[in-house]
Amino acid sequence: MPKIILTGDRPTGRLHIGHYVGSLRRRVQIQNAGDYDKMFVFIADAQALTDNADNPDKVRENVIEVALDYLSVGLDPAKTCIFIQSQIPELCELAFYYMNMVTVSRLQRNPTVKTEIQMRGFGGESIPVGFFTYPISQAADITAFEATIVPVGEDQKPMLEQTCEIVRRFNHIYGDTLVEPNILLPDNAACLRLPGTDGKAKMSKSLGNCIYLSDDAATLKKKVMSMYTDPEHVHVEDPGHLEGNAVFTYLDAFCKDEHFAAYWPDYDNLQALKDHYTRGGLGDMKVKKFLLKILDAELEPIRARRKEYEKDIPAVYQMLQRGSEEARQVAARTLDKVRHAMRIDYFNDTELIAQQAQKYQQQS
Ligand code: TRP
């Protein structure tokens, strides 16, 4: 079975370092290791519109931001097919047929849908139908490309489970047609859910606690230096706590032993630093400065690449257009298989035509 990687992001804002450690970094590693048959990365604008229907400009303007973020982290359009979801009409048709594979109560039980309903306060029945059914459209996104591996954050787990159910139900009814995907989660807890700079559970634009991939060096410095640490660590000699300490969670996500050799040879590794911090006698400022060096080293090449791509925005749109054309051909092949399996490819169905012809001949 070919190894096909696929994932996407909603264009509702620039991408931040939570996206980076949660999925982007992994995609680039996979891309460059080359141990796969094809990789697709897409901008889920149609999905973003399901809960931003009144804000089309936000979605429209963020398409290019996300594309620039993709290119700047090192996704390479020569290797990876980068496309825009709304430009692949085949996805809508697939979703339309998959709607018959899913019940209302199953959608209501989807934890992502459930929490999003609560969070966005649509409340019960006032949720837009398009938003309610977006797990089905996500199943179309994944199966259209016969993806076998989907690298996403933990929050997407219920979506992948629902996709697998749709695949199994479809294949059960119509015969083996669709491919079941596997989720690929980050392997480290810090990367699974990177907290905001304020220590809150999640980075989110509305909370203003994000470090964006496109933040300049001065902004990065300001954000790191004002990060939430341990409120009980008042004096340097006080023992510090690691639990809920955002600076240490970021170190878990970004720090490698080489960073100590390069920037802070007093310690061999992160464990030694943590031991000192919890013993007491280590100030937050020193740790923050170390984190800043690590983040700066990681983000500087990303910023530099972004600057280059920003110089030729029409070329970025062209790249997206070419990617979308390529993606559309792949999705169309899957749609053909689906129509064939569902036996709605009437004009290619010579057996059906012959049968019907015979039936009516016998009658006459
Ligand atoms: N729901 C995903 C998110 O909010 C975006 C997305 C849409 C996606 N379709 C997908 C991710 C298919 C992986 C595969 O981030």
pLDDT in tens, 46-66: 999 998 888 999 999 999 999
User: Is the beta carbon of 139 within 6 A of some atom in ligand 1?
Assistant: no
* Residue 147 identity (one-letter amino acid): A
Is the model's pLDDT at 239 over the cut of 60?
yes
* Burial category of 129 from C-beta neighbours within 10 Å (exposed 0-12, middle 13-18, buried 19 and up): exposed
> Rounded to whole angstroms, how far apart are CA atoms 246 and 241?
11
Architecture field, domain 217-309 = Orthogonal Bundle (1.10)
Dihedral sign of CA atoms 94, 97, 100, 104 in order: positive
User: Is the beta carbon of 44 within 6 A of some atom in ligand 1?
Assistant: yes
User: Is the beta carbon of 47 within 6 A of some atom in ligand 1?
Assistant: yes
Q: What is the pLDDT of residues 82-93, one digit of tens each?
A: 999 999 999 999
Q: Whose CA is nearest to atom 14 of ligand 1?
A: 7
Determine the distance separating the centroid of ligand 1 and the alpha carbon of 44, expressed in angstroms: 7
Name which residue leads in pLDDT, 352 or 201: 352
> Can you give the pLDDT at residue 115?
76
The best mutation among 81, 86, 152 to test binding of ligand 1, ranked by most ligand atoms within 8 Å of the C-beta, falls on: 152
Q: CB count, 10 Å around CB of 143?
A: 27
> Can you give the pLDDT at residue 123?
60
User: Is the beta carbon of 162 within 6 A of some atom in ligand 1?
Assistant: no
149-153: average pLDDT: 92
Is the model's pLDDT at 116 over the cut of 80?
no
Give me the sheet containing 182-184, strands edge to edge.
Answer: 81-84, 38-43, 4-9, 149-151, 182-184
Contacts of 276 (CB under 8 A, 6+ apart): 267, 282
**Of 103, 9, 123, 109, residue with least CA distance to 63:** 9
Judge whether 4-193+313-352 and 217-309 match in fold: no
* Residue 345 identity (one-letter amino acid): D
> What size, in residues, is the chain?
364
> Rounded to whole angstroms, how far apart are CA atoms 282 and 261?
19
Domain parsing of the chain, residue ranges: 4-193+313-352, 217-309
Phi-psi region of 233 (alpha: psi -120 to 50; beta: other; left: phi over 0): beta
User: Is the beta carbon of 150 within 6 A of some atom in ligand 1?
Assistant: yes
What torsion, rounded to 10 degrees, do the Cα atoms 294, 200, 18, 114 define?
Answer: 170
Determine the distance separating the centroid of ligand 1 and the alpha carbon of 50, expressed in angstroms: 13
Judge contact between 75 and 323, C-beta under 8 A.
no
Which atom of ligand 1 lies nearest, measured to the CA of 6? 14
Determine the distance separating the centroid of ligand 1 and the alpha carbon of 10, expressed in angstroms: 7
Q: CB count, 10 Å around CB of 5?
A: 24
145-158: average pLDDT: 93
Per-residue pLDDT band for 206 (boundaries 50, 70, 90) equals confident
What torsion, rounded to 10 degrees, do the Cα atoms 296, 297, 298, 304 define?
Answer: 80
> Can you give the pLDDT at residue 1?
86
> Rounded to whole angstroms, how far apart are CA atoms 100 and 95?
9
The best mutation among 10, 83, 162 to test binding of ligand 1, ranked by most ligand atoms within 8 Å of the C-beta, falls on: 10
**Of 100, 108, 160, residue with least CA distance to 129:** 108
313-319: average pLDDT: 98
Name which residue leads in pLDDT, 17 or 202: 17
User: Is the beta carbon of 141 within 6 A of some atom in ligand 1?
Assistant: yes
- % of the chain beyond a pLDDT of 70: 98
Is the model's pLDDT at 122 over the cut of 70?
no
319-342: average pLDDT: 98
> Can you give the pLDDT at residue 191?
87
Q: Tell me which DSSP letter residue 261 carries.
A: H
Q: Tell me which DSSP letter residue 212 carries.
A: B
Q: Whose CA is nearest to atom 15 of ligand 1?
A: 9
Determine the distance separating the centroid of ligand 1 and the alpha carbon of 8, expressed in angstroms: 5
Q: Whose CA is nearest to atom 3 of ligand 1?
A: 9
> Rounded to whole angstroms, how far apart are CA atoms 171 and 179?
9
Determine the distance separating the centroid of ligand 1 and the alpha carbon of 123, expressed in angstroms: 23
Judge contact between 5 and 36, C-beta under 8 A.
yes
Q: b/e map of 192-219 (b: 16 or more CB within 10 Å)?
A: ebbbbbebeeebeeeeebbbbbbbeeee
Q: Whose CA is nearest to atom 6 of ligand 1?
A: 8
> Rounded to whole angstroms, how far apart are CA atoms 129 and 137?
12
User: Is the beta carbon of 209 within 6 A of some atom in ligand 1?
Assistant: no
> Rounded to whole angstroms, how far apart are CA atoms 124 and 295?
42
Judge contact between 8 and 141, C-beta under 8 A.
yes
> Can you give the pLDDT at residue 124?
66
- Across the chain, how many H-helices and E-strands are there? 18, 5
> Rounded to whole angstroms, how far apart are CA atoms 131 and 29?
32
Q: What is the pLDDT of residues 5-42, one digit of tens each?
A: 999 999 999 999 999 999 999 999 999 999 999 999 99
**Of 71, 75, 82, 28, residue with least CA distance to 304:** 71
> Can you give the pLDDT at residue 299?
97
User: Is the beta carbon of 143 within 6 A of some atom in ligand 1?
Assistant: no
* Burial category of 41 from C-beta neighbours within 10 Å (exposed 0-12, middle 13-18, buried 19 and up): buried
| Token pair recorded at residue 45 | 């604008």
350-364: average pLDDT: 90
Q: Which CATH superfamily is domain 4-193+313-352 in?
A: HUPs (3.40.50.620)
